């Protein structure tokens, strides 16, 4: 069975895409810690990030940095954090999170519900600060 992320990548489930290329996508988290909290996900279903081939891992990091720079411009945080947890979904994903304080790295502070229109606005704002041609 496909992971929930593969179903989103394949458009079987909705997602707020901000980046898409041949190797990975970036979507907004439906349970963000801060507005603009994004996930960078390889298209390949690889459960544990330690199993991601080095070249693919480098690409994921490059995309995470690009998304993080756009978050800085779009949302104005003093920092952007990066977390690879991997317990929620058995498909590698990098959390790229605008940070206003260290508490923004705690998943205990994630929103349990966000209105779709709020996610859409955050995605539009983030896309406006990303290089064109990736969504």
Domain count, the chain: 1
Q: Is residue 121 part of a domain?
A: yes
Q: Which domain holds residue 18?
A: 4-127
Q: Can you give the pLDDT at residue 116? A: 94
Closest CA to 22 of 4, 43, 50, 47: 43
Q: Give the pTM.
A: 0.95
Each residue's pLDDT tens digit, 9-56: 999 999 999 999 999 999 999 999 999 999 999 999 999 999 999 999
The C-alpha atoms of residue 107 and residue 34 are separated, in whole angstroms, by 11
In CATH, what number is assigned to the domain containing residue 119? 3.30.428.10
**3-class DSSP assignment, residue 43:** coil
Q: Is residue 132 part of a domain?
A: no
In the chain the first and final C-alpha atoms are separated, in Å, by 26
Mean pLDDT, residues 72-79 taken together: 98
Token output for 126 = 């983030």
Q: Is residue 44 part of a domain?
A: yes
């Amino acid at each position: 069975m496909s992971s929930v992320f593969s179903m989103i990548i394949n458009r079987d489930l909705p997602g707020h895409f901000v980046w898409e290329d041949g190797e990975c996508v970036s979507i907004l988290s439906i349970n963000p810690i801060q507005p603009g909290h994004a996930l960078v996900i390889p298209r390949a279903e690889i459960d544990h990030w330690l199993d991601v081939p080095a070249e693919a891992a480098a690409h994921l990091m490059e995309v995470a940095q690009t998304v993080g720079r756009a978050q800085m411009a779009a949302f104005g945080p003093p920092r952007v954090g990066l977390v690879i947890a991997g317990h929620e979904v058995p498909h590698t994903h990098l959390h790229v999170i605008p940070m206003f304080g260290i508490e923004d790295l705690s998943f205990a502070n994630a929103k349990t519900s966000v209105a779709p229109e709020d996610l859409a606005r955050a995605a539009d704002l983030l896309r406006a600060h990303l290089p064109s041609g990736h969504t």
